[in-house]
Structure 1
Amino acid sequence: MTFYINVFAVQPLLVKPKTVYFEIAGIWLALNLQEDIPRQEIHQSYTHIAFSAKEKDLDTLRARLQRAGATIEEGRQRNPEGEGQSIYFRDPDGHLLEFHTGTLEQRLDYYRK
């Protein structure tokens, strides 16, 4: 819970002993405490959730991630002509997330070419 509060600068909508709800950029995020389940395979996946960011905010976001203890992943090579910039990071459970400059439509246009 603290990780998401610090990284996304949001407050939880609901806090229960084993569940926390957030709304981040129109997405409902439910965190549920589940102990004794395997989590290693998640580190092998590129599947992720991307959040739009402004290029001018990337340094601030990177610093916020570092303060929150995020694991920042090395991103893949980018084409500077149309792909934008990204910061990939993992939450404490290992889920891969991304702050990405540009819009979803720009990204889709790039991949349509």
Structure 2
Amino acid sequence: MEWGSAWICLLERPEIFPIKLEQQHLHHCAFYINEEDFDIAVDLLRKREIMLVKGPIFRGGGKSVYFHDPDKIMLELHTSTLHQRMSNWT
């Protein structure tokens, strides 16, 4: 789903092993960031001593970095557009 420069993507994938309802949870939320702002954002996360879970890495057609918010929800900053990202995952 896209609106303006924002987009949200919900993906389902078949699991090898059945997952019980109580084991289902949000894996992470991803947010688009301009390529030219990505390194600045990563530096800001580091300056604020926010532990990076993964990255910076290149995947899905762009740069990504993963980190937790204060409630331990994993967040991702990603530089590719929805179209670019989906062309890599579908």
TM range (shorter): 0.5 to 0.7
Larger Rg: 1
- Determine the structure 2 residue equivalent to 1:87: 65
- Percent identity, aligned pairs only, is 38
Shift of 1:111: 1.3
- Higher relative CO (Cα under 8 Å, sequence separation at least 6) belongs to 2
State the number of aligned residues. Answer: 69
Q: Which amino acid aligns with 1:96?
A: M
- Determine the structure 2 residue equivalent to 1:103: 81
Is the contact between residue 71 and residue 91 of structure 1 (CA under 8 Å) also seen in structure 2?
A: no
Shift of 1:86: 0.3
Structure 1 or 2: larger helix share? 1
Is the contact between residue 31 and residue 76 of structure 2 (CA under 8 Å) also seen in structure 1?
A: yes
Which TM-score applies when normalising by structure 1?
0.49
Shift of 1:76: 8.9
- Determine the structure 1 residue equivalent to 2:27: 47
In structure 1, runs of 5+ residues without a counterpart are 1-24, 28-44
Question: Which stretches of structure 1, 4 residues or longer, exceed 6 Å deviation after superposition?
Answer: none
Residues in 2 aligned to 1:99 and 1:107: alpha-carbon distance in whole angstroms: 13
Shift of 1:60: 0.8
Is the contact between residue 28 and residue 75 of structure 2 (CA under 8 Å) also seen in structure 1?
A: yes
Two-structure CA RMSD over aligned residues (Å):
3.0
In structure 2, runs of 5+ residues without a counterpart are 1-5, 9-24
- Matching of residues 1-113 of structure 1 within 5 Å: 47-75=27-55, 78-79=58-59, 83-112=61-90
